[in-house]
Structure 1
Amino acid sequence: MKALVLIGLIICFLETPVVFAEQTTVPSPTTIVKKPDWFKQPPANLPQNITTATRNNKQIILYFYQDSCPFCAKLLKHDFGNPDIANKTRQYFEVIPINMKGTKPVTDISGVVFNEADFAAEKDVLATPVLLFLDETGTEVLRINGYYPPAKFEPALDYVEGKHHREGSFKDYYHQLKSGTPPEDIPSNADTEEPC
């Protein structure tokens, strides 16, 4: 299983420059963009966070970041800074920021307490940003490694919020959206590979 995850990450990182090449500017590595006030505040306690989110008809996004990460800054500025995306995220999700190198406590779904850095390692976070979307059971339903521009990030929110992960992969969902095929026409037997 770890070999498959490693292969998937390698493929994602090999394709990542194509995504970055679409962008015209990259923030300086020293640029720190403030996280929105509506992000959850530490410490993260996933059993409690999931219970509260589910009670409010929301799902969880674990946002792994580093303060000096230029693409984390782009995510905060261009995606979460976009009013439509911010409103949709606030309506359907609770965002829990986790510093990839941090020391604050994180209680995982099974009740084990880690510091942020160890929890990031446990979740195979090798670089940032990484967003893990969790359903009401704490199951990861989508993983985004790297930066998605708003035109791709918003469909990822729709994919999870609409529970399209039950019907197929985000990669298939996104390609069908781009081709004009309605999301409800996604075949139910679509594979479940990670997005790149």
Structure 2
Amino acid sequence: MSLNRPTRRSFLALAPGAALAVGRGEARAEPALGDDGLYHEPWFLQSFLDLREDLESAAASGKRLAIMWELRGCPYCRETHLVNFADAGIAKYIRDNFEVLQLNLIGSRKVTDLDRQELTEKDLAQKYGIRFTPTFQFFPPSSAGIEAKEPMAREVARAPGYLKPPHFLAMFRFVRERAYERGSFRDFLAANG
């Protein structure tokens, strides 16, 4: 594929962005509260909601795919945006290493799952047993053989509920460093805490 050839995803990136805030000599984009009641980070993945395509695109960019499940009015989702993502170091690490797709726990948009089944966001959440917001799902670095696995076995890690900033960053490091292949997140925290 030519590097100069535009992709469907590159056209989505041209969508109007969120406002910029200037502080401490650097400009950074602020999350915007959308009509859906969710905060949206300007660097979140703009997607056609085809998870296989998103996973393969992330892998081609040397990144990992994470899904952030949210719900309108969720105080911990708000905290994730206004505290965790507001930390420049955390946001930079995640932007550099992950594509984050935001989905609504009770949403009605159609999503094509990794096994090519098309479901609403709400039905997809039920399929994967997502019960809390925010919940982050992390997927393997490749889509090879993923459709043959049971839905929850497709994940390499999951963070159900709010994590304070140090543990939040640690979870993303746990996935990026593939530490899940060597032990649990709890073990990773104990060794790196």
**TM interval, short-chain normalised:** 0.7 to 0.9
Bigger mean CA offset, 40-49 vs 126-135: 40-49
Question: Which residue of structure 2 lines up, in the alignment, with residue 59 of structure 1?
Answer: 64
Question: Which residue of structure 2 lines up, in the alignment, with residue 146 of structure 1?
Answer: 161
With CA pairs under 8 Å and 6+ residues apart, which has the higher RCO, 1 or 2?
1
> In the alignment, which of 175, 183, 188 is matched to residue 160 of structure 1?
175
- Cα deviations across residues 153-191 of structure 1 (Å, max 9, x unaligned)? 11111111111111111111112222xxxxxxxxxxxxx
Which runs of no fewer than 5 residues in structure 1 stay unpaired?
A: 1-31, 179-196
Answering whether residue 150 of structure 2 is matched by residue 135 of structure 1, we say: no
**Distance of 2:47 and 2:106 partners within structure 1:** 14
- Contact 1:33/1:76 (8 A) holds in 2: no
Question: Which residue of structure 2 lines up, in the alignment, with residue 107 of structure 1?
Answer: 112
SS of the aligned residue for 1:74 comes to: helix
**Distance of 1:117 and 1:109 partners within structure 2:** 16
- Contact 2:38/2:70 (8 A) holds in 1: no
**Distance of 1:33 and 1:113 partners within structure 2:** 23
**Distance of 2:189 and 2:111 partners within structure 1:** 32
- Contact 1:43/1:105 (8 A) holds in 2: no
Answering whether residue 78 of structure 2 is matched by residue 78 of structure 1, we say: no
Question: Which residue of structure 2 lines up, in the alignment, with residue 119 of structure 1?
Answer: 124
Letter in 2 for 1:67: R
- Contact 2:47/2:54 (8 A) holds in 1: no
Question: Which residue of structure 2 lines up, in the alignment, with residue 173 of structure 1?
Answer: 188
With normalisation by structure 1, the TM-score equals 0.72
Q: How many residues align?
A: 147
Large movers: runs of 4+ above 4 Å: none
Letter in 2 for 1:143: R
SS of the aligned residue for 2:46 comes to: coil
Query: How far is the alpha carbon of 1:42 from its aligned partner?
Result: 4.5
Answering whether residue 102 of structure 2 is matched by residue 97 of structure 1, we say: yes
SS of the aligned residue for 2:96 comes to: helix
State the identity %. Answer: 27
Letter in 2 for 1:74: E
**Distance of 2:177 and 2:192 partners within structure 1:** 14
